[in-house]
Amino acid sequence: MLNPDNTFTATVLGLPRIGPNRELKRAIESYWAGRIDAAGLHDVAAGLRAAQLLRVRDAGLDSIPVGTFSYYDQVLDTAVLLGALPERVQGIEDELDRYFAAARGNAEVAPLEMTKWFDTNYHYLVPELSAATRFSLHPDKPLAELKEALALGVPARPVVIGPITFLKLAKSLDGSDLLERLPDLLPLYEQLLGLLAEAGARWVQVDEPSLVTDLTDTELAVVHTAYKRLAELSARPSILVASYFGRLGDALPVLARTGIEGIAVDLAAGGDADVSAAGALRETLVVAGIVNGYNVWRIDPDTALPRLRGLRAAGATVAVSSSCSLLHSPYSLEPETRLEPRLRSWLAFGAEKIAEIRLLATALHEGQDAVAEQLEIARTAVRDRRSDARLHNATVRARVAGAAGATRRAPADERRALQRQRLDLPLLPTTTIGSFPQTTQIRAARAELSRGTIDQAEYDARMRSEIAEVVALQEEIGLDVLVHGEPERNDMVQYFAEQLDGFAATTNGWVQSYGTRCVRPPILFGDVVRPAAMTVRWSAYAQSLTTKPVKGMLTGPVTILAWSYIRDDQPLADTALQIALAIRDETVDLEAAGIAIIQVDEPALRELLPLRRADQAAYLEWAVDAFRLSTSGVADTTQIHTHLCYSEFGEIIGAIAGLDADVTSIEAARSHMEVLDDLNAAGFDLGVGPGVYDIHSPRVPATEEIQTSLGLALKAVPAERLWVNPDCGLKTRRTAEVTASLRNLVAAARALR
């Protein structure tokens, strides 16, 4: 039974960890480079955690999540907690080095696979389990972080990933049903709950985002069994099961019958319908995720407060929260002085979301008069956004309406013959995905341009010099299809957003993508227009330096959409088609400049796939339509490539074929070419470039290793359709690693020809 004296009113489901100025990223990379030791790294981490907890406490939240900090990834942390790291890293004596070896590999050890965290742009590391895996509890991290928070006077709520989600996200090495391992995990969770209670935790948050996906009756029964067992423990904290990224649906009444004290629902995804339908939450704290943790728009109090009151009227005890962890939000609007003031007034980053949560909680529990002035400021911003003319461009909307049904060119076999004649490439052509290392010189030039110490002409000259060096290096290595290396691009989405009307870029809006990789998602606030060509001069310059084909490199409409903070006032499909028309215009201009191969990357195609099967067909239809529209303006002799990475592709194989790209490069290194079987099963008969080595690890693959990968690929793909490439762009790697790896790649391809 819910204890009225053990509830709270305002919280978030998780906190960012990279630091307001990416301090953790820099410290970890310094540790990897040997510039600081483990003690130095731990000191930086402890300082960031303490500062964050105190900021949130002082902002007025009365329950604060702890344990969401990570040096790399929360799922990897859970594997450590449960003693489930792969055997290949167990021999590494140092605890921190063992952890990072599992995350990113080293010269001797391959890392865990990486894939997308539900439908976000965060990547998690996939645990490897089997029927033989022996679990054991290692609770030092959650206990230490709880102790740390309580010492600061923080009302701490430890957070752990739940057993259902951990097992459903893991990879079965032997094909066994991993949910059958739940009886082996539950005693560890029972032990952990007891230890956390002894250490002073009044609540524990158990994250179960997998419960917002389609679950079978058998799986729902497993959920009930697990949480009823945990709820029946005599000495434990109150349990909050947190869901996010979707509606709980049938899982909510199942949880409500277990005896747990709290359930977090994602109201940004419509989860209040779950609560109303459940009708059994009078003894449960409903943590209402009304403030969207995955987007940046200011809350409309006149929409939010009635929904919160509706939950309370249904009999629930209500706490106001973010819809998900603030891991996905920038820290604060405070540094964003370059944003246009009008646009800035529409936004809420992490700090502002926390303030919104406190505002709504006060209005809900104390009445609107207590915060009338703040509520009116929010209402004014919402009204102003709705009336802005940049959100309603009649020309763009007419163009989108007239583009319906556009498809691309002749059948694939006819295009293949024309392109073979034009390009005259060898069997097993070699190439890269696009970017080359962003060197110190490139970053310095970008910083100097930003500070105004060099002008645009000097910056452009330095970029041309970098391009010339990259083209010369590729020719010397012997690659068949070259790239310009993208030195001028800060990010594969932000670069385009900065040149398209309807977007705004941030100064310090960093969020974690994986490990130490951070991105600054642009803000897509209005209708999208391409005022001028964005990439043509760079690609044309690179092509002028060589007789080999140079790929024009573009980011696709779905990925630009997925990796931006997107407008929420119209259907995603409409926004995607607006972006597609801008990319289409760019492909036409590239072709006119003599570029024979154009790559339109869609690494986020799987990422936006709705979590419920009932919603997936409609999404895939408009996503494929947007890509095909973006590539429909060029001749059959121009070869269209696309790139997909780090996702579970089996569910979207039909859509990958539907893109109708002449060549699709795809992540396959960490998964040992398994995706090719899915492609074959779907009758895929276009060109394919399965990544033959993992660029996210510093390892340099031997020629023989790449030959082995290619041998596996050739069992699934005829040599006439097989391309040879790394599994992703090379931006984050060092030049020496890249050069050695590509030499081995070229040698492997030549050996197999």
Which of 255, 221, 260 is closest to 240 using CA atoms? 260
C-alpha to C-alpha distance for 586 and 409, rounded to whole angstroms: 17
Distance in angstroms (rounded) separating the CA atoms of residues 208 and 697? 29
DSSP per-residue codes, 567-633:
PSSS-HHHHHHHHHHHHHHHHHHHHHTT--EEEEE-TTTTTTS-SSGGGHHHHHHHHHHHHHHHTTT
Using DSSP bridges, classify how beta strands 523-529 and 501-504 pair: parallel, antiparallel or unpaired.
antiparallel
Residue 204 and residue 240 in contact, taking contact as beta carbons nearer than 8 Å: yes
- Tokens in use for 31? 């540790």
Cβ-Cβ contacts under 8 Å for 124 (sequence gap 6 or more): 73, 74, 75, 76, 114, 115, 116, 117, 169, 514
Assess contact for 311 and 320: CB atoms under 8 A: no
Instruction: Give every strand in the sheet of 551-555, ordered side by side.
Output: 551-555, 597-601, 639-644, 663-666, 687-690
If you search the block for the tokens 């989600």, which residue do you land on?
A: 165
With a CB cutoff of 8 Å and minimum separation 6, the contacts of 327 are 14, 15, 16, 17, 68, 122, 511, 512
> Rounded to the nearest 5 degrees, what angle is found at the Cα of 655, between the Cα atoms of 716 and 724?
40
Helix/strand/coil for 677: helix
C-alpha span between 239 and 226 (Å, rounded): 12
Cα–Cα dist 413/397, whole Å: 35
Looking at residue 722, what DSSP letter applies? B
Give me the residue label for tokens 């319906």. Answer: 404
Query: Which H or E run contains 538?
Result: helix 536-544
Residue 365 is a catalytic residue: no
Q: Do 542 and 471 touch, CB atoms closer than 8 A?
A: yes
- From 582, 581, 562, 563, select the one nearest 572 (Cα to Cα): 562
What whole-number distance in Å separates Cα of residue 525 and Cα of residue 505? Answer: 11
Tokens 């926004």 belong to 575
Tokens of 38: 């483990």
Residue 457: in which H helix or E strand, if any?
helix 456-477
Rounded (5°) CA angle 273-275-278:
110
| Side chain identity, residue 593 | A
Give the Cα separation of 621 and 612 in Å (integer): 15
Two structure tokens written together for 199? 């250490």
Q: Work out the number of other CB atoms within 10 angstroms of the CB of residue 71.
A: 21
Q: Which residues are catalytic?
A: 696
